[in-house]
Structure 1
Amino acid sequence: MDLHIVIDPGQPRGEQLLRQLRSLIRSGRLAADTQLPPTRLLAEQLGLARQTVAEAYERLALEQLIDARRGRGSFVRALPAPADDTPPPAAPPPRLASVERITAFQALPLPFLRMAGSPLARYDFVGGSPEPALFPHADWRRHLHAAQRQLGQGGAHAPPAGLAGLREAIAEHVAFARGVRCSAADVIVTQGAQQAFDLLVRVLAGPGDVAALESPGYPPLLAMLQAQGARAAHVPVDGEGLVTDALPADARLVYTTPAHQFPLGVAMSASRRQALLAWASRSGAVVIEDDYDSEFRFEGQPRDSLQGLDAEGRVAFVGSFSKTLAPSLRLGYVVTPPGLPALREALLNAKHLADVHGPSLLQNALARFMAEGAYRKHLRRCVAEYAQRRERLMAGFGTRLAPWLTLLPAEAGFHQAALLKPGLAVDATRLAALARRVDVGLYPLQRFGAALDGLLMGFGRIAPDDIATALGRMGELLEAAA
């Protein structure tokens, strides 16, 4: 074994070696029964005479710190217990408010962290998780190889804002698909939407600041705000989305999912969108628009993004490729509000401090993938597949599960919420526990801060032919409970 011993040529070498070996043993860094290197080997490693090492070992043996075992070598002895076995007083921990807030994460609602550690059931209705089989492996591999060749020829790291080609492709896509008004200069590429939210919260919210969140809503936003010491104002959601009349006047920012509310799935009405923008104008607040899985639209006309309706430029538009391609890519973006150039500079500084630059290889491959038109083609394929699963889910809730559950309407996204009807013998939490026993994964809305008794029914990871089987098993459980 190699020992961390440093020999200063200007000092007595034998004394240095003895002192450092003694310290390693007494501090416990060399545990009992650890074999020391042979004298010849240690002498060669340290550039010492073998006799110098042998004398140090003899001294350690006299001090009863090591044993010399014939034919085997020298081993560290177990140290005798001190006369007073009372442990020394521990040094007081640093009194840092931020450390205490982060430690308190154990008590925060972080369902995704706990869900990530649990294996999926055979028939799983997990939300926000795309179908891995839909990933365009052949096209992606081709663009990834091209990006590798470019980097091998001296390609530069991506700047904090992201590669210019990818920012241009994103700006073009969101303008075409979501009516977002921006240029490539307004786009900052992030490692998933999660990093975009983290940067926005760190820049916009400080201790004591008020931030408005949808309730029920996305739990990690609440955790981020609490980590910053900000105060969260929970604003209810109804059939038209965020209830704008309940927004607090002193809020500095508001977080909303207008295209497909998480977790209820409703879309924000046109009147509420206008009311929210008017509130932001009066209060001087920033709106974070989470365009959560809006690419998957199944009925009705596409609704304008808040950012596209915003005449004053107070909306930060956040998107991600985790739902459309794969979460493991960790690629997302924020379109900074055109009316707040100082916010863009602050976000760029925060991004630079967070990770210096993003993954150049993946950004380059995605830019090529989008510029070629393969991304839009892939989205059309995904919408067709998820539409089929959605139809089977709705058919099952309209027949087999109709006596017990009501499926809430949703125009877009690959999850819908289902509410249990009053008077049932089981609630959503109990039903989810029972369903696990028959290999069906269900997720109560209460995990996401909802007071409603219901389930989040994602259909991204369950095969179309398996939906009827899973719903049939749910029906059997509900019949047995009734």
Structure 2
Amino acid sequence: MIDLLIELGDNGPMQQRVYEGIYAALRDGRLKPGQRLPASRVWALELGVARNTIREATTALIAEGWLEARAGSGLFVRPQPALHSKVEAALTSARAASGQLSLSAWAGQLPQALPELPSSSLVVDFRPGVVSSDAERLFRYRRPAQSRDAVTAALCQYGDPAGELPLRQRIAAYLRQSRSVRCGPDDIVVTSGMHQSMDLLCRLLLEPGRSLAVEDPGYPVIGHAAKLAGAALCHIGVDDNGLKVDEVPSRIAGVYCTPNHQFPLGVALSGSRRRELLDRAAREDFFVIEDDYDCEFYHGAAPSRCLQAEDAAQRVIYVGSVSKILAPALRIGYIVAPPWLRDSLHRAKWVVDRQTSSYAQNALLAIMSSGDFATHLHRMRFEYGKRRTALLDGIGTRLRQYVVALASTCGMHVAARITNGCDARTLCRLAEAEGVGIYEGNQFSSTGSASDILVFAFGRTGAAEIERGLELIEKAWASRRTADALRGP
């Protein structure tokens, strides 16, 4: 059944006006073949006419071959091939004409292509950015953290643009305890994920004529958000000690970095560079966006405390999300805003989307309040540790003549450097031919600085799958018929 607006003319008997209204909807394609019409009783109430009037008008259309009555099912539109082909042609022509309209300069800065979704044809996919499905049971069985009446009220009205206070209190307590972040609930703004966090910050802090320094290789979304704000990008190299702070130019507006677990190389910013970055930010008056990427899942010793905890000048803006801990689809992130940014950030969040979903916020609050969040985090830290060990062992035994894994202490992926001059794109293509997805480091670089890097993630890949995937990669790379291809250009 469909809802359909029928326009009734002002002249003539009501039956004729209803007939002409339905006929017009059939002619212009609003009513399509096979669609079921509303029941005469319902339609009569909606149009404010007698039920018999609807029946008389539709009876005439049945007689003319426009409609058909199906016993026990109702009234349906009959196929009219010639008519509907003309309607589709008219719509296509209208779309083509509308395509000639010009878009804004903002639209011109959008990425030319969106990332590809995971392929269902792969036997094993080492794709970064996906996580284990273990968190599903938390959402399935956990009751709301608030009473049913409170949840109903939250769903029926708008909330605080910064996020629900009980959730901000939980997030602040978690960040203070786990990452030494200096914050209270008033410093937290709950966002709809990392993408929105960066969009908000770039809109507030960047504009044409300003520049943002970003890691290269690094997280591509950051560059897109900065460009959409009209800013220029400065791509800064990364080595074994993290971001090369001495390469950050003067007169910069800000720096984005992942100091404790750089993406995708996995290195940590050294102590001397951390101090240099903070000193320069204070002295040269630029901001630092600290993305504490994947530090919840550390392997061995805990990572250094966050950069924000060492920032006396309040130049660091700390960002994070629960996408990797729980689920990307939950779409909840957070910004820890310094005092000078807080009020503007609240107002910007209100304008952009009013608030992050109260339903999603309450689901996260329930998980954090119950203790399930901490339990899940510890369990997954252990599970990801097993997967990481399996991956490192497999790379070291099966793929050692091609790549060497880079050292890292956190996260859900391993970066590996190609050691024998093979071409990264060819290696990925050969692996894909055997049903295994691995990923070039250069897809995360704008300068080609990661041409010898491959990325293996294990968020959604268990130990047995890892072993199977590496076995297939070894088979693909070792095949005599691919030996020439592996040598690269």
**Range class of TM-score, shorter chain:** 0.7 to 0.9
Aligned to 2:271: 270
The residue type paired with residue 227 of structure 2 is: Q
Aligned to 1:366: 364
Shift of 1:310: 0.7
For normalisation by structure 1, the TM-score amounts to: 0.82
The residue type paired with residue 464 of structure 1 is: A
Given that residues 287 and 315 in structure 1 are in contact (C-alpha distance below 8 angstroms), is that contact kept between their aligned partners in structure 2? yes
Aligned to 1:137: 137
Aligned to 1:398: 396
Equivalent pairs, count: 459
Change (3 A) 1:274 1:48: same
Given that residues 187 and 342 in structure 2 are in contact (C-alpha distance below 8 angstroms), is that contact kept between their aligned partners in structure 1? yes
1:435 is the counterpart of 2:431:
yes
Identity %: 36
Aligned to 1:47: 49
Aligned to 2:255: 254
Change (3 A) 1:55 1:275: closer
The residue type paired with residue 283 of structure 1 is: E
1:471 is the counterpart of 2:463:
no
Residue 345 of structure 1, aligned match among 335, 343, 346: 343
- Aligned equivalents of 1:189 and 1:384: distance in 2? 28
Q: How big is each residue's C-alpha offset from its partner over 1:185-243, in whole Å with a ceiling of 9 and x where there is no partner?
A: 00011122222112111222223431111111111112222223322111111111111
Q: How big is each residue's C-alpha offset from its partner over 1:360-390, in whole Å with a ceiling of 9 and x where there is no partner?
A: 2332342343244432232221111111111
SS at match of 1:295: coil
Change (3 A) 1:24 1:145: closer
Given that residues 125 and 462 in structure 1 are in contact (C-alpha distance below 8 angstroms), is that contact kept between their aligned partners in structure 2? yes
Shift of 1:303: 0.7
- Aligned equivalents of 1:164 and 1:41: distance in 2? 45
Bigger Cα displacement from structure 2, 155-164 vs 407-416? 155-164
Given that residues 158 and 359 in structure 1 are in contact (C-alpha distance below 8 angstroms), is that contact kept between their aligned partners in structure 2? no
- Aligned equivalents of 1:336 and 1:420: distance in 2? 40
Q: How big is each residue's C-alpha offset from its partner over 1:25-72, in whole Å with a ceiling of 9 and x where there is no partner?
A: 7756567999999999999957389899989999xx9xxxx9945997
- Aligned equivalents of 1:194 and 1:280: distance in 2? 24
Bigger Cα displacement from structure 2, 71-80 vs 23-32? 71-80
Given that residues 16 and 57 in structure 2 are in contact (C-alpha distance below 8 angstroms), is that contact kept between their aligned partners in structure 1? no
SS at match of 2:183: coil
Shift of 1:411: 1.2
The residue type paired with residue 8 of structure 2 is: I
Change (3 A) 1:36 1:317: closer
- Aligned equivalents of 1:49 and 1:29: distance in 2? 22
SS at match of 1:399: helix
Given that residues 66 and 78 in structure 2 are in contact (C-alpha distance below 8 angstroms), is that contact kept between their aligned partners in structure 1? no
Given that residues 36 and 76 in structure 1 are in contact (C-alpha distance below 8 angstroms), is that contact kept between their aligned partners in structure 2? no
SS at match of 1:232: strand
Shift of 1:406: 1.0
- Aligned equivalents of 1:317 and 1:264: distance in 2? 21
Aligned to 1:416: 414
Given that residues 403 and 420 in structure 2 are in contact (C-alpha distance below 8 angstroms), is that contact kept between their aligned partners in structure 1? no
SS at match of 1:462: coil
- Aligned equivalents of 1:31 and 1:70: distance in 2? 11
1:386 is the counterpart of 2:384:
yes
1:100 is the counterpart of 2:102:
no
Shift of 1:123: 2.1
- Aligned equivalents of 1:370 and 1:35: distance in 2? 47
Given that residues 211 and 231 in structure 1 are in contact (C-alpha distance below 8 angstroms), is that contact kept between their aligned partners in structure 2? yes
Given that residues 415 and 456 in structure 2 are in contact (C-alpha distance below 8 angstroms), is that contact kept between their aligned partners in structure 1? yes
* Equivalent residue runs for 1:195-206 within 5 Å: 195-206=196-207
Q: How big is each residue's C-alpha offset from its partner over 1:117-137, in whole Å with a ceiling of 9 and x where there is no partner?
A: 53373322122322113x272
- Aligned equivalents of 1:245 and 1:160: distance in 2? 38
Q: How big is each residue's C-alpha offset from its partner over 1:155-195, in whole Å with a ceiling of 9 and x where there is no partner?
A: 56541111111111111111111111111100011122222
Shift of 1:308: 0.7
The residue type paired with residue 444 of structure 2 is: F
* Equivalent residue runs for 1:51-130 within 5 Å: 68=64, 90=97, 93-98=100-105, 100-101=107-108, 104-105=110-111, 107=112, 110-111=114-115, 114=116, 116-119=117-120, 121-130=122-131
The residue type paired with residue 440 of structure 2 is: P
Given that residues 434 and 476 in structure 2 are in contact (C-alpha distance below 8 angstroms), is that contact kept between their aligned partners in structure 1? no
Bigger Cα displacement from structure 2, 32-41 vs 302-311? 32-41
Given that residues 390 and 414 in structure 1 are in contact (C-alpha distance below 8 angstroms), is that contact kept between their aligned partners in structure 2? yes
Unaligned runs of 5+ in 1: none
Change (3 A) 1:216 1:169: same
- Aligned equivalents of 2:58 and 2:467: distance in 1? 76
Report the RMSD for the aligned CA atoms in angstroms: 3.8
Change (3 A) 1:33 1:175: closer
Unaligned runs of 5+ in 2: 70-76, 484-489
- Aligned equivalents of 1:402 and 1:4: distance in 2? 67
